[in-house]
Amino acid sequence: MKFEMITGGICAVKGVSAYGLKDGKYGLTLIAGKGTAAGAFTVNKLRAAPTEFTAKQIARGRLSAIIANSGCANCFTGEQGMRNAERMAELAATALQVPKAEVAVLSTGSIGTQLDMALIERQLGTVLEGVTIEPEGSMAAARGIMTTDTFPKEVAVRLEAESGESVVIGGIAKGSGMIAPHMNTATMLAVLYTDAAVATDALRSCLQDAVNDSFNMVIVDGDMSTNDSVLVVATGQRGPIGIETFRNGLTVVCKALAKLMARDGEGATKFVEVRVRDAPSVADAREAARAILRSPLVKSAIFGERIDLVCGRTIAALGSACITGELDQNKLAIGIKSETAEVLAVQNGQFLKLSESERAIMTAKELFLTVDFGTGGGAEATAWGCDLSYDYVKINAAY
């Protein structure tokens, strides 16, 4: 697959216009773009009103607009919360002159408070005036859904279709904390658009595969949000594309957004990638990678820059992970790499003696941890996350 990273986010996609604003803690984003659609949502048993509403809306397989607010999750808000989610859809439908049945609603922020609908209506007037196909529209939309994020997140790629023509897949996302997504057919929100022509069933299949390899492999703090949602819309304005080419391109965009979330983890001082190799199955590899990054002890040791503690706690996390295959201590290996150095810390189940210079690898801001099961199974998985710092507690004690 040939692809090129480009600028413009979702507004690089033909047929998409967007804008958003941030007013202190509260933001609003509006996106217009008609086409076939699919979604993936949190499996949290106390899903927010907009999540429930949008899951029903997208079951029809088509969207024309997305409206998203930040600062209030509209979760645990009862019947009034559901009415407010529906009202947001009505407002967007009227503003953009599209069917209400084709409007998705996303929310992120504090749980247990009702939406300030008067504020949303005021913000909508300003946002509507700014809606544009220009790149600044995508960046403004990404900024409008931020909560504790420190920067807006957008990605776009251009793919070469089998016909020789090019298509674009673009996405925006938010996510910094309360991220341990588990979605099927982080709080994290992601909105993806493509100008390829893709049928709804194919979109659903490709999205689930992409989510499994990207957003479901991001761990910031191990907490699953009530509002995690990923939406994809295909405007079809540049024609068809091979399904595998599209699937691979969508995964590239989702992984890039997932890594941006991990880099922006609340209070994070280090970006961490965990790769599990030679596991008995992909399911075991994924669970092992997530278990390591879910561990507060592993994350704290990374923050403390202690390679011995990182390895010991990684072993403990592996032993307690919900994997079905066997673990052979005598075959386990753990290595750590930075951009400039690489250290093998555990080999054949034995801790290796490391020099001070080798231990200093932990001071790097980007760390890549490899865990090799040595089972001969050949399965692999990669997860992304960050360390656990003092600032994480400060942020979450106050927001």
d(CA 196, CA 14): 9
Is there a catalytic annotation at residue 187? yes
In the numeric block, which tokens belong to residue 192? 């993806």
Q: Which of 187, 235, 251, 375 is catalytic?
A: 187
Q: Which of 276, 297, 289 is nearest to 180 (CA)?
A: 289
d(CA 65, CA 120): 16
d(CA 138, CA 68): 13
d(CA 18, CA 144): 11
CA-CA-CA-CA torsion for 108, 113, 115, 118, nearest 10 degrees?
Answer: -140
- What residue spans of the chain are helical by DSSP H? 49-58, 78-96, 117-130, 135-144, 200-212, 243-263, 282-294, 296-303, 307-320, 356-359, 390-398
Q: Which of 94, 86, 12, 32 is nearest to 54 (CA)?
A: 86
CA-to-CA dists, residue 327 to 75, 332, 348, angstroms: 41, 8, 12
d(CA 211, CA 191): 12
Catalytic residues: 187
